[in-house]
């Protein structure tokens, strides 16, 4: 197991927060704080904030992402946004299959796969989210479920394309609850995801894939979480809305080698 084979990615997921003007202000505040980061720094923002975010992040090391993408190229899908539309805005990343979308908007393992394929085809880097509910964990299905979700999400994704894919292990019970997985639980969950990739693509490929942890990651617990061998950064919700907290998380990941 060699952490230097993959890059750490710290990505904020703003969810349904921030207006365009608030976006500009927050990114301007963040830029100097993360300027010397030794990891990839990404902010995934609501669709309407993308233009402001791209403009504010110009010339900095902050990359911008979206929070969702539709799987069809175009057509009668009112309210949806295609991968080509996103690509043209200048975003580099897109969150796919977040548990909130699975829970509230009917996202399935199949649509997560289709959205991931559409993102890859357009030249975007999907951050694919997987994770078990508390009930699934208590029933002992965490490993089975994480492996299944990972393999389903990556159906028809080639080893070459996998180079542009990030997976985020986000236990549903740890999201927005203040209950963080322990560093060992995060490492174990990420390890199941890596094992699934190894089963599908081989161990050498699996060693190179960035696998984040997400779920109540914050300035206080980030260093311990990212110290784990399988934890290659994080997908941050609430703490990514605060410049100081987010920059501490970026620093923690930068100091990991």
Given 67, 107, 132, 170, the catalytic residue: 170
HSE-up (13 A, CA, CB side) for residue 172: 20
Beta carbon nearer to ligand 13P, 59 or 178: 178
Cα(82)–Cα(75) distance, rounded to whole angstroms? Answer: 9
Q: How far is the CB of 236 from ligand 13P (least distance, A)?
A: 5
3-state secondary structure of 61: coil
Nearest to 196 by CA among 185, 187, 206: 206
Beta carbon nearer to ligand 13P, 198 or 241: 241
Beta carbon nearer to ligand 13P, 215 or 233: 215
**Residues making contact with ligand 13P (CB under 6 A):** 13, 98, 170, 175-176, 214-217, 235-239
Q: How far is the CB of 137 from ligand 13P (least distance, A)?
A: 16
Is 170 tagged catalytic? yes
Q: How far is the CB of 180 from ligand 13P (least distance, A)?
A: 8
Is 70 tagged catalytic? no
Q: If 0-12 CB within 10 Å is exposed, 13-18 middle and 19+ buried, where does residue 195 land?
A: middle
CB-closest chain residue to ligand 13P: 237
Cα(132)–Cα(143) distance, rounded to whole angstroms? Answer: 9
Which residues carry out catalysis? 98, 170
């Amino acid at each position: 197991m060699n952490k230097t084979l993959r890059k750490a990615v710290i990505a904020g997921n703003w969810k349904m927060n921030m207006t365009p003007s608030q976006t500009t202000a927050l990114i301007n505040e963040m830029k100097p704080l993360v300027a010397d980061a030794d990891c990839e720094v990404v902010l995934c923002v609501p669709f309407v904030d993308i233009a402001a975010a791209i403009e504010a992040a110009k010339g900095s090391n902050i990359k911008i992402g979206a929070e969702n993408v539709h799987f069809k190229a175009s057509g009668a899908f009112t309210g949806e946004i295609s991968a080509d539309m996103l690509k043209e805005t200048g975003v580099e990343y897109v969150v796919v299959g977040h548990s909130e979308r699975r829970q509230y908007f009917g996202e399935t393992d199949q649509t997560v796969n289709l959205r991931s394929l559409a993102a890859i085809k357009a030249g975007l880097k999907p951050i694919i989210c997987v994770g078990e509910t508390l009930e699934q964990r208590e029933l002992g299905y965490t490993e089975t479920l994480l492996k299944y979700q990972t393999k389903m999400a990556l159906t028809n994704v080639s080893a070459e394309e996998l180079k542009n894919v990030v997976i985020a292990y986000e236990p549903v019970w740890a999201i927005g609850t203040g209950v963080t997985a322990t560093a060992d639980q995060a490492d174990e969950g990420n390890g199941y995801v890596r094992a699934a990739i190894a089963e599908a693509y081989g161990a050498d490929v699996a060693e190179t894939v960035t696998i984040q942890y997400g779920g109540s990651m914050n300035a206080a617990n980030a260093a311990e979480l990212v110290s784990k061998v399988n934890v290659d950064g994080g997908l941050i919700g609430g703490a990514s809305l605060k410049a100081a907290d987010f920059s501490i998380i970026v620093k923690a990941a930068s100091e990991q080698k």
